[in-house]
Amino acid sequence: MNTTTFSREPWNKGKLVGQKAPLRLQDIWSIRVRLQISEKTRDLALFNLAIDSKLRACDLTKLRVRDIAHGAHVLPRAIVTQQKTHRPVQFEITGQTRTALEAWLHHAQLRSNDFLFPSRLHSSEHLSTRQYSRIVKAWITSIALDPAMYGTHTLRRTKATLIYRRTKNLRAVQLLLGHTKLESTVRYLGIAIDDVIEMAEQTEA
């Protein structure tokens, strides 16, 4: 009696899994230009702040105006307590992001206690993480990138990755991301363990 053996394909064959890729500098500018040309005031403010703040989607979408601004004036630095770790994290708000945020505050007529990115749905006071995810997908597809490779965490990882590539300073990136353990930052950035050992040896030398 002949038996036929069927091999089961791995569940993730042909699928992209794991961490989402960060954006490159040219990707950042391509998205910014498109948002500026299309006069999407909210999206430009949201995109710029997502890059600068390096916040998780759950923290970014729940920001209130008072978290980043004093009246109509956006602050150069902000401190936010993270929902996941309950630890404060500080971030710089660059000039172009402050300009975009001030334009959005004026456009939406937001007050200090208002959510920074109100939802357009009556069922939610602020932008939901699902809505934010759809917005990010639209940004990614607008510059012809594969949305399967990018997501909301892309925005959190982008500036941290750019800073690490420029400085090789893991401790600084750890603080910027609000990680409690350096190992988490190593995994987050996808750094090879050999590189970490080499950096440690150089520090001790």
Tens digit of each residue's pLDDT (9 = 90 or more) over 127-186? 999 999 999 999 999 999 999 999 998 998 888 888 888 888 888 888 878 877 887 777
Cα(171)–Cα(157) distance, integer angstroms: 15
- The radius of gyration of the chain's CA atoms, rounded to the nearest angstrom, is 20
**CA–CA dist 141, 61 (Å, integer):** 21
What pLDDT, on the 0 to 100 scale, is given for residue 11?
A: 32
- How far is 58 from 198, CA to CA, in rounded Å? 35
pTM: 0.79
Listed range (27-36, 41-50, 148-157, 164-173) with the worst mean pLDDT: 164-173
CA angle at 101 for the pair 189 and 171, rounded to the nearest 5°: 25
Q: Which of 126, 124, 150 is nearest to 42 (CA)?
A: 126
Q: Are 58 and 50 in contact (CB under 8 A)?
A: no
- pLDDT tens, position by position, 81-125: 999 888 898 999 999 999 999 999 999 999 999 999 999 877 789
Q: How far is CA 20 from CA 23, 93, 109, 150, in A?
A: 10, 24, 34, 5
- For 8, phi then psi, to 5°, come to -85, 130
Distances (CA, A) of 3 to 6, 8, 9, 48, 187: 10, 16, 19, 60, 45
Classify domain 25-167 at the CATH superfamily level.
Intergrase catalytic core (1.10.443.10)
Extents of the domains making up the chain: 25-167
